[in-house]
Every structure is written in structure tokens, then in C-alpha cells.
Amino acid sequence: MIEKSSRSDCLSKYPIFPLRHYDQDREEEDFFYPNVISGQWLELSYQNDEGLTLLLAKELTSFFCSFGIKSLIFLGDTEQTWVTKNGLSRKDYPTLLQAVRYFLEHKIDNNFNGGVRVSIDALQTFLIHFYSMIRCDASLPYFHFIDNDQQLLCTIHYSGQVRIDRFTDAANKLFEALILRTGFRKVERS
């Protein structure tokens, strides 16, 4: 199941989402990032981009299932739409074309900038297309995703590295135990 909500409804229900906004008067960007107790960048070993995409979707879905998460909520950190003009106009990237088609089929288009809830049974397929868009369309905002209980805050970098932040000691302990059962390894980033 994939379910959309307006940006304002999503932020009202989940105020911990990171946000960016460019203040034209000050010519500076304003940032909000919630306080977390712990965070970690992770990566997978892979042979090629297609292999990484499939492995990333599989490993993340498995991790969230083990964590007991039933759905995840995704939201961009700016008011920009999910599907960009760049994404719609590119015809040279078959992977991006498939991803855009997938999102358009789910009524997530170049007018939508709200939250998207994805059930765990739809997550692996969603992540394949989601990561393909992130990897191929540099004009997208940073997307973050959280679980319904707001224990974890995650983001996927276009390189395929994943950041998972934790908000509670219990979530941190469970993360440390479960991440060892995946193909992810911890990495340091500056």
C-alpha cells in the first residue's frame, strides 16, 4: 500500500522531519534537523549500480521488517515536488524513466510535494524506484523517512549510503543488534 498525504498534514503528524528553506531576504538557507541520540552512515558492497539498487531495497526492507516496522513515511526536506521537470524530460536514462512511470502510476507527480506512507509489503519495490530517482535526478530535494512510532530517521544518499538516526535508547539497542544481521557495514563520513 502506498498512501499520500499533504505536506502540512505530514509535518503536523510528524514534526521531526528535517527541513530546509531558502530565505531570499537573508540570502541564506534555514535548516531544521531534530535532536537524535545516535546516528550512523551505512553502505553495502556491490558489483554495479543495478546490483546496488536491488540489494539496497532488499536489505533495508529486511532490516525494517526485523525492527517490527509496518510502514515508513517519506518526505522531502524542501517544498519541491517528488517528480521534477528534469525527471519528466530525461529520455536517456531508462532507470529514471521506469522510476518516474512508477511514481506517476501511484499519483505521485510533478505537482505533489507531500508525504508518502509505504507499507512494508510494498517497500522493496518502492525503494527500487525511489533510489533510482535519487541516483539519477540531482535536482531532487533530500528525502527522509521515518517509522510511524518515530524511532528512526533515515535518508538514502545518491551514492547508495544510508544514514539511520535513532531517537531512543531502545531503538538504538535494537538497531545495533539488527544491523549486524544485514549486509550493511558502518562507514565514517565527514
The C-alpha atoms of residue 63 and residue 162 are separated, in whole angstroms, by 12
Domain membership flag for residue 107:
yes
pTM above 0.95, yes or no: no
Dihedral angle over CA of 133, 150, 9, 17, nearest 10:
-60
For the stretch 121-164, pLDDT in tens is 999 999 999 999 999 887 888 999 999 999 999 999 999 999 99
- Above 80 in pLDDT, residue 22? no
Domain membership flag for residue 79:
yes
Domain membership flag for residue 24:
no
Domain membership flag for residue 33:
no
**Can you give the pLDDT at residue 52?**
93
Domain membership flag for residue 104:
yes
For the stretch 77-91, pLDDT in tens is 999 999 988 778 778
**Can you give the pLDDT at residue 159?**
92
Domain membership flag for residue 34:
no
Beta strands in the chain (DSSP E): 2-5, 19-23, 28-32, 38-43, 71-76, 115-119, 143-147, 152-156, 162-166, 185-187
Domain membership flag for residue 157:
yes
Least confident of 36-40, 92-96, 149-153, 172-176: 92-96
Three-state secondary structure string covering 2-51:
EEEECHHHHHHHCCCCCEEEEECCCCEEEEECCCCCEEEEEECCCCCHHH
- Above 90 in pLDDT, residue 174? yes
Q: Containing domain of residue 53, as a range?
A: 2-14+39-187
Total count of domains within the chain: 1
Domain membership flag for residue 25:
no
